[in-house]
Amino acid sequence: MSLYRSLHPFDLVMASTRMYASLPVVGKHLEPFAGLTAMMMYGHHYAPAALRGMASRRLSSDAAEAAPADVPGEAISPSRGKRTPPYLRFRAQRQRCLYRSSVRYGDHPAQLLDVWRLPDLPPDAPVLLFVPGGAWVHGSRVMQGHTMLHHLVKQGWVCLTMDYRVSPVHRWPRHIADVNAAIAWARANVDKFGGDRNFVAVAGCSAGGHLASLAALTPGDPRFRGELTEDADTAVDAVVGIYGRYDWQDRSTPTRKNFQNFLERVVVGRSQSKHPEVFEAASPLARIHADAPPFFLIHGEQDTIIPVGEARAFADKLSAVSRNPVEYSEIHRAGHAFDLVDSSHARRLAVEVGRFLNDARARQLEGETAAAV
């Protein structure tokens, strides 16, 4: 039976993508096209606002370039046209930092991660697991987060960047189960690559920010463990949410209704009206508690895909409840995926994330020292 009383053309297209993705031998190679199809069919809802935002930021950038050098904020203004966008530098950054590629963190062919680290890394280095974004229909470790990961590796971190199973071929909660599987793998195995199993942080962009935040807030939730055994450790020591989606419940505006419809038809495969508990359980905003790990949230002021108000609301509510530090940073004139298109924003992100994570690591070491005395 269809999710809705009458079949929508979109449902027929999604059914066809799941059908060809399930074909023997070739199906696994066709899975990415199913996700791209879903993104294109829903992306037109966001295109006008995204184009207006790009034009506005371009005008702001031109004005900043013409402004005197002492204009406030000039040191972190958007990158000039002569600078190479980060998405064109990812191959070089990956080549410099990649230590081991396509390491399996589970039995499924999609459960792969890359290990980034220095060749002469001292033992027991802190660890960051990076979860890429892609609207829960694309989850590839290629390209995303590379400026941040490169910066952390140079500071002596072991960084893991992962693939995970995505919709519409794989329905929710497969995505979060894979993230938890990768965390559990790091807790059990990262010492083989020089990492400290006692300090594992998680970060993610966009949909990856949602998954990273949800995993951090719900360790041990049996709904999100997939094939993991009960004794698998999925707790994390710090979290970084980068232009993430934190609310899976709100339907108060046309834009929010459109997003919830996307979740229903493409990601979850269930109606929110009939299964509200599924969407509440998957919403980081609804899973906040006092024992949340340290959080750092960073968002672009001019994000037209995930409006900045959602990040502000999540940061405010988390700050009011959590016993651990909660930090929030807002980047002026930045849109969605700013770290892929703007070099200055990407560098700012890397520096701020590095500072936060190194502080979290230092607090943990101080606590271990105090406990041992």
Residue 61, both tokens: 């950038």
Among candidate residues 142, 161, 205, the one with its CA nearest the CA of residue 338? 205
Alpha carbon distance 261, 176 (integer Å): 20
User: φ and ψ at 353, to 5 degrees?
Assistant: -65, -45
CB-based burial label for 233 (10 Å; 0-12, 13-18, 19+): middle
- Residue 218, CA atoms < 13 Å, CB-side half-sphere: 24
Q: Minimal CA–CA distance to 219: which of 243, 206, 237?
A: 237
Structure tokens at 341: 């298109």
Fill in the amino acid letter for 266. V
3-class secondary structure, 60: helix
- Which residues does 284 contact at the CB level (< 8 Å), separation at least 6? 210, 213, 214, 217, 244, 246, 247, 314
Q: What's the one-letter identity of residue 368?
A: E
* Distance in Å from the first CA to the final CA of the chain: 63
Say which DSSP state 154 is in: H
Task: List residues bridging with 329 in a β-sheet.
Answer: 298
């990492």: which residue's tokens? 195
Residues marked as catalytic: 206, 303, 336
DSSP string across 87-149 = GGTHHHHHHHHEEEEEEESSSSTT-EEEEE--TTPPSSEEEEEEE--STTT---SSSTTHHHH
